[in-house]
Amino acid sequence: MNEEMIQKLVAEVCRQVMAAPAAKGSAPTSTPFSGAKEIADPMTMGGPSPRVQKKLAAFVNIQPEVCVERALLVTKAYQETEGLPVYVRRAHALETVLDNMTIFIGDDELIVGNQCSKPRSAPIFPEFSCEWIEPELDTMAHRDGDAFLISEENKAALRAIFPYWRGKTNNELATNLMPPECLEAMMAGVYTFGNYYYNGVGHISVDYRKVLEKGLNGIIAEAADAKAKLDVADAEDLRKCHFLSSVITSCKAVIRFAARFAAEAEKQAAACSNPVRKAELAEIARICRKVPAEPASSFHEACQSWWFIHLVIQIESNGHSVSPGRFDQYMYPHYAKDPSITVEKAQELVDLLFIKLTELNKIRDAESTKAFGGYPLFQNMIVGGVNRKGEDATNSISYICLQAAQNTKLYQPSLSVRIHENTPHLFYQKAAQTTRVGLGIPAYYNDRVIIPALLARGLAREDARDYCMIGCVEPQCGGKTEGWHDAAFFNLAKIVELTMNDGVCPACNKQLGPKTGHATSFTTFEQFKEAYTKQMEHFVRLLAIADNAVDLTHARNMPLPFLSCMVEDCIGRGKSVQEGGAIYNFTGPQGVGVANAGDSLTAVKKLVFEDKALTMEQLKKAIDANFEGPEGEAIRQMLLNRAPKYGNDVDYADLLARESAMIYCKEVDKYHNPRGGQFQPGLYPASANVPMGAAVMATPDGRKAHTPLADGVSPSGGLDQSGPTASALSVAKLDHAEASNGTLLNMKFHPNAVKDERGLENLIAVTETLFTHGGSHVQYNVVSKETLLDAQKNPEEYRGLVVRVAGYSAFFTALDSRIQNDIIARTEQVF
């Protein structure tokens, strides 16, 4: 497709989008949006209130610290419950923390509840892993990215408890279950499963609606009723009895936790001389006495109840990607029925929730930080889309959430929008307006691809329509799914390297994979592809073994009763989420380096076996030498310039990229997990494309050794030279339905490209081009290369600069310099 055809396509999509009628029941583009509380014009909604501005000004100056309170309290709780059932130990650990941790109510707060003794501090979870913490205590404050301050006193406190945990942590127990070759492949950079190996699973959206409508007392009653029906003379019922008791204990602890904030608010109110603030504190106290124990009956109550639930999930376990899910759908009824709420007051409350979400933090080991840079928690909140009946579900809260992103300009939550064929154009415009702010928010998801993909994976139609996004780009039905998304990152480029070297890893000079033949012995491209497939089979199998070992360990040692009580049908089945209590169970490892693998196969096929411009001996020699010297550089330029490249709407390259990814996906499909579910592949990296590239020597696509891999399903930086529409059309040729655990496309635009109304419509047109041709996701960075380079030189002047990294946004200056450079190197698109 030439440039003229591309421009015509963009113009036609723009015309169709502008001419499309509004969906039944949705707002036409020519009249104001109206709902329970009228929003006169979503495109000109109000900015942040003075209260929100004050909170934001304080937030950007907070330096993250390590908080040791939870670690000390959990250790005490475990010591008190030696020999008791694991459910009892987990519930007692949670109640010990909630009953004894420091709590506070900050100035001007309306939504209360803290994770640590200070905002943005990160707790330690020694029961999951701590062997990495001790050697990093003296370095974590000096990291290139994601630094955390820690006092000498707190270092000493942690060192005092570490001996208790030796041999008992989740990651040590998981290690004992897996064959050594699984760890060997991980250490060589073929894959990493460190996410759940060292941490909690997270990656879930619970049934927040259930708590808002029934309250925790309703859940306690449900668990008690299920428990009363058990016959504990039956061994399985005896186990269920312990689990259900742990649910009741955990929920009661959360109710007491809320009551502690009620008491603190009453204490502050008694000492407050400002009548306005005194009344606010009294209202906070009233609300915390009521929720989350009882159903919410106002929008403020719903916000506070929601926050307590979300907060405690983060305190119970250190899994990230605990996602709000379809916030606009379950919060809207409380907005609609509240006679006292105004648009402005609702906006302020949601703005404040966005700040609270960003106050949560997590500390990772130094290696994991390279894959998850920028203090991310991947809390994905999604708005728009269709409802369970298939009708447009856009409402007032959908717009309020988009405005909250504009008002706060923070990196949490990871705000997303669902797009379908009847999405109101006004909503599309509001999303594009938010994109133009330059936060990399929102991410866009395609109902037309994702819903059928979920149906193919076994979800009921209504559940598939009700999907939300988890973490980066992973779809699931909230409140019913344990998806185990981000189960691992798998290095597709490393498989190319092993294919070129007969299964030998050059860096460790060891026979890591099967012998599939020396590259110089291949006489046809089919032989090369067959060797690539055999290496893939071997290492995906090892990955599945490792993932299942970690999965089993979480089930045996780390059940999460509080989280589980809000996932169907854990109470009914008498099982935690970790044991298979959810309705839907998956395991989702991600392939990284789609463009590198695809372009490598393209170069080998085109230049070696078809055009015979190179011999395999010449190619192998140049790659082994990292393209050094005049001959090596000449070969590299040939690889870069004479072989077609994925990302330019050229079928030759695009279809080989699809095939290289599908070989991975089909292998992943073969495996099942201990919870009775299937493995499902995804194609996205978080920011793992940077450290994974560091583990790979030079590759046949012309990429030099140890440099980053292409991110997500995006083309390699600088090699997509035919414009944004061509890139979108190339990406759409991948099988996004097969990669049902999510695919990720990053695109970067210069701010001038979207500065006016025409720019917004062009952005919508590119999104529609991708979506109508079968793409599932896209997200945009709107920031100039010059700004990013200046931010590297003068970080103090850009402390609030937020950029899209991969499936999440982050403060640019908080990122490791290698991740910063990767973002800078991405192709900057214009129209």
CA pair distance 84, 72, nearest whole angstrom? 20
DSSP 437-505: TTS---EEEEHHHHHHHHHHTT--HHHHHTEEEETTTEEEETTTEE--EEEEEEEHHHHHHHHHBTTEE
Residue type, 609: F
The closest alpha carbon to 481, from 325, 331, 328, belongs to 325
Residue in the block written with tokens 């009620």: 262
DSSP string, 159-176: HHHHHHHTTTSHHHHHHT
CA distance 49 to 632: 60
Which residues, in sequence order, are bridge partners of residue 505? 510
Q: Cβ distance 285 to 265 under 8 Å?
A: yes
Q: How far apart are CA 303 and CA 291, in angstroms?
A: 10
CA pair distance 749, 616, nearest whole angstrom: 38
CA dist., res. 477 & res. 460, Å (int): 10
Total Cβ atoms within 10 A of residue 637 = 12
Measure the N-to-C terminal CA separation of the chain; round to a whole number of Å: 16
Q: Rounded to whole angstroms, how far apart are CA atoms 118 and 129?
A: 23
| Strand 474-477, strand 467-470: pairing | antiparallel
Cβ atoms of 778 and 745 closer than 8 Å: yes
Which amino acid belongs to residue 279?
A: A
Query: CA–CA separation, 724 vs 753, rounded Å?
Result: 11
**Residues forming the active site:** 472, 474
Residues 6+ apart with CB under 8 A from 135: none
Residue-by-residue DSSP string for 62-111: PPPBEE-HHHHHHHHHHHHTTTS-HHHHHHHHHHHHHHHS-----TT-SS
∠ CA 376-688-656, nearest 5°, is 135
Count other Cβ atoms within 10 Å, centred on residue 85. Answer: 17
State how far the Cα of 781 lies from the Cα of 436, in Å rounded to an integer: 9
Rounded Cα gap, residues 343 and 399, in angstroms: 10
**Residues contacting residue 242 through CB under 8 Å, at least 6 positions apart:** 85, 87, 88
- Of 224, 223, 231, 285, nearest to 258 by C-alpha is 285
